Amino acid sequence: MNTDSAYKTLLETLRRHDRLGSIGGLIGWDELTMMPAGSADLRGEQKAILTELIFREAQKPEFRDQVEALEAVKDQLDSDQLAVVREARRDLDMVTHIPAEFAARKSRAQSASYQAWVKARNNDDFASFLPYLQEQLDLAKEQAAFFDVSDAYDYWIDQFDPGMTCATIEPLFAELAPQLRSLAERIINAPTPPPADVFKGFPVDKQEHFLREVVTSMGFNFERGRIDTSVHPFCGGHGQDTRMTTRFDANNPIDSLSSGMHETGHALYEQGLDDRFAGSALGKHVGMAVHESQSRLWENMVGRGAPFWKFWGPKYRALFPEQLAAINDQEFLRAFNNVAISPIRVDADEITYNLHIILRFELEKSLFSGAVAPADLPDAWNDYSARILGYTPKNFREGCLQDVHWSDGLFGYFPSYCLGNLLAAQLWETVQKDIPNIEDTIADGDFQPLREWLRKEVHARGRRLYTNGTAKAITGSELKTAPLVRYLSGRYLPLYSL
């Protein structure tokens, strides 16, 4: 066997898998943005058939042969080739360890569970959702058991952040929680609270115009992507055809701008992956924590900061002169960066958001270990919430029914959001060392230096390394808490005259 030609053949196969998967990205985007409501049944069938085709394609004996042939000559492979084979093996195991019967059963259960959750949340009725939650947890454990893993929760964490485990996350969150809690409390009790009711009556067309200018200047490639609106913003499609969405509310312009910049961060990552190696370790993202580090760096470190608003503030004021007439720039920044202990994760500020995630991580651990039974989730949620966040939910909607994730079988996903914040802060410190005047370039409205740095340091790396390996290669250290605490203290304490 010629190793080089076998490697090339494997790359072609992986590219084919990537292209096939990208069709799912496209019809999934269409479903949430453009599809007429009456076409939902057809779309359901299309998605099921496509899923089956993707599975069958990856189950072809040729793919296994290609992977095994290269595994047999590992000592002849360079580090890039080894990474490609390692990830191809992960893909292969995914489709060979999980029986088709189980995949179909899980997919059906997920649809039913999602519908049950929507209804339960609307009616604030946990009891009606309980059997579905129990089933999702059982399925999650059943799936993990198909693999050679000692802990089911570790299996799920690894699905979203390769290489991370409960044991690597625990000390980070334990260190972070009390520091953020006390920082939030100091800010909330500061003598200079933000002005109230600033962000009311911001015409949507002007918000849209502003966001488009920001997104363009961040470097979103409109030649190979578009922005539409959806109920919940997301970034879908493919790096070569990125389908990003946002939403607008005249009385919540922060949300549209922040989520627009957030999704653009995700989009730039996808657009920055090396498409020559699509579907392989050299051309795919590392995992959700690194993905979130990209969205949150743009949304928070950039979009919430004084340098950003030095350039964009006058444009914003020109669009909304009356709405902003009564407040000065410092008050505007405080209003934009309001901190509050609040029940709903997706509405939380960038400090307490992490406490919401730590709460979910603790609950997931307890659900998987059996320390908390699904039936006891509401009480456990309230207890943990009071302890970690300092808030006791008034009803299920404010508590254990607020997130869609578990209804969809997504256990182990939540930690990525907080790990992404940790990495974003490490990257932010590193880019300031590499490009000392980076904040000046942002204050000049020039995002190119930051974007190019991220492209080179993060996007172009693909999945050669896993989450902690990537963090260490770029920032000199695996994930740690100090940079995030330094960043938040450095930004918020002066803003609130503390």
Choose between 81 and 426: whose C-beta lies nearer to Zn ion.
426
295 touches Zn ion (CB under 5 A): yes
CB of 230 to Zn ion, least distance (A): 14
Q: In b/e form, how buried is each residue of 6-16, taking b as 16+ CB within 10 angstroms?
A: bbebbbebbbe
Closest CA to 71 of 58, 86, 61: 86
Using a 10 angstrom Cβ sphere, with 0-12 exposed, 13-18 middle and 19 or more buried, the burial of residue 237 is buried
CB of 28 to Zn ion, least distance (A): 16
Choose between 116 and 267: whose C-beta lies nearer to Zn ion.
267
What are the phi and psi torsion angles at 225 (to 5°)?
-175, 165
332 contacts 494 by C-beta, under 8 angstroms:
no
Choose between 261 and 438: whose C-beta lies nearer to Zn ion.
261
Q: Can 31 be counted among the known catalytic residues?
A: no
CB of 88 to Zn ion, least distance (A): 27
Which of 87, 135, 263, 270 is an active site residue?
A: 263
Residues facing 237 on adjacent strands: 242
Q: Give the tokens for residue 425.
A: 């802060």
CB of 260 to Zn ion, least distance (A): 12
Q: How far apart are CA 401 and CA 377, in angstroms?
A: 10
Q: Which stretch binds Zn ion (CB under 5 A): 24-32, 79-87, 202-210, 292-300?
A: 292-300
Choose between 168 and 295: whose C-beta lies nearer to Zn ion.
295
CB of 266 to Zn ion, least distance (A): 6
Binding mask 372-391 for Zn ion (x = CB under 5 A): --------------------
Half-sphere exposure of residue 27, counting CA atoms within 13 Å on the CB side?
Answer: 16
242 touches Zn ion (CB under 5 A): no
Cβ atoms within 10 A of the Cβ of 407, count?
22
Task: Give the binding-site size for Zn ion (rule: CB under 5 A).
Answer: 1
32 contacts 246 by C-beta, under 8 angstroms:
no
* Coil, strand or helix at 203: coil
Q: How far apart are CA 323 and CA 313, in angstroms?
A: 13
Contacts of 470 by beta carbon, 8 Å cutoff, 6+ apart: 286, 290, 458, 461
Binding mask 250-289 for Zn ion (x = CB under 5 A): ----------------------------------------
Choose between 158 and 270: whose C-beta lies nearer to Zn ion.
270
Q: Which parts of this chain interact with Zn ion (CB under 5 A)?
A: 295
Which residues carry out catalysis? Answer: 263
